[in-house]
Structure 1
Amino acid sequence: MKVAVLGFKGRMGHEVVKTVLREADLELVAVLDHAPKEKNISEIADFSDLDVPVFDDLEKLLTDVTLDAVVDFTTPKVGYYNTKLVLAHGVSPVVGTTGFTPEQITELTELAASKKIGAIIAPNFAVGAVLMMQFAQKAAKYFPDVEIIELHHDNKLDAPSGTAVKTAEMMAEVREPKQQGAANEEEIMKGARGADYEGMRIHSVRLPGLIAHQQVQFGAEGQGLTIRMILTTEFLSCQASLFHPKNSRARYACLWFRKFNLMRGG
């Protein structure tokens, strides 16, 4: 399988490149960066023994290189454009970039279906995150008072995280409509109560030293429930390999994302 990696200089993109190189049935044929100084990946110390072209233009990459799949770990600003262009060229995208709107997801779903090709758009490939969202959805049916606190490293560009948004969307499917907090509450400082998703509050924390954490906090009279997921440094390299089609954990996550309208295609 011929693979290109977009955002290869980023934290996850770098790990994805190393994962592709480890797999005998995957071939790295191109990489992309928004402003590369290199023409070939061999100019980077970690990959000095390789001969893989570096592109700064996705259209040119898709035109010049024969591909089976494109892995995208870029930024929310360009993730939608990238995915749409990849699908338009008849190539399957595997997207770990977050920040897509529901309207964009719908449009990309229809495009993938029209091209009859598979595609994945997933806010998180971790099985722990998948289970957290499932458990939160089950709990929200009985605990309508709920808030989400997500914590990430300070280089993350989108807030709230895609995982937090998807968690809220799923809980909203089963949760009775309710505005969280006092009806006449007042924010002394704007944004103090966080983002509002159908009455649920979402709080985003960005600090150095963090990787990815999410806590779903439920409250009720005389009781409470906390569902928490933590990703460690060790998981960073592991997560890069989860997109591989032979990985059983990836299959579980992807099948589940398909069920809940996040995985697209055939």
Structure 2
Amino acid sequence: MKSTLFSATLFAVSAATVAAATILSDLDHAQHEPHAALQKRGFYEDGFKIFKRKRNAHACMMSIVFIVLFPLGAISMHLPFRGIRVTTRVHAPIQILGFAMMIGAMGLGIDIAAVDLNFFASSTSTKAHVVIGLLTCSVLILFQPALGLLQHLHFRRTAKKSVFAYIHRWTGRVAICLGWINSGLGFQLVPISLVSTGSLVRNFVLMGVLGALWFFLVGWDGYRHHWAKKEKLGAYRVGWDKGSVLRRQHAVEDGTNDEVKLESSHTGNQGTTAGEQHL
């Protein structure tokens, strides 16, 4: 106990010493350069520099959300993970992180549009970037989490998809595509001549790679689902052509369960015979 208390006291004294040394160093630096503090304060009071920082933060966060996080969350639903609950362990955490970042970036965007650029004034024409951004983010905030939660609860009860799943899926897909379009509109609004080449290349390369992977997985899953249904219908059609019809009948005998009867009808040149086969 005493050793622990002594260690804590020593740590506190060390921290206080470091803090005091830092303060004294700053005071000494301010005495030798009296304008340093004023220059630093002036930097943060410069409205244009603050505007640039907010604009860059908004662009960076929204790019991460709509070009990286949301597509990765969508891609995770199509990957062949085994032994992992993809929806709750992979998809939901990624989308929640992106959702939180999107709300923060949306707040920055509204502040920039209202305070710095005065886009919401009646005398100013509304920009497409602002309209698409507000519409997309508002729809995601209002509907997407609720739709995902409703589908999850429905799946836990029935182990099936519901209409909430399809609305949730297509709302997310449309929102991601609108986010990609709005990214280009945002660069155009800056204007694009002031955006560094590295930022443009990085954004559009990531968009192309993740978008191509996402579209491929969606198309591949759709292709497999289509051919699985086609093969299933083909098997039914073969059975129908052979004259086989499956019926489920309730047994009336004591202690027996439901039975499935396969009735086969064969048509010949001289007449028709029917037989029943119990499965």
TM-score range, shorter chain: under 0.3
TM-score, scaled relative to structure 2: 0.19
Give the TM-score normalised by the residue count of structure 1.
0.20
User: Which structure is larger by alpha-carbon Rg, 1 or 2?
Assistant: 2
Q: Which protein has the bigger strand share?
A: 1
Higher relative contact order (CA 8 A, sep 6+): 1
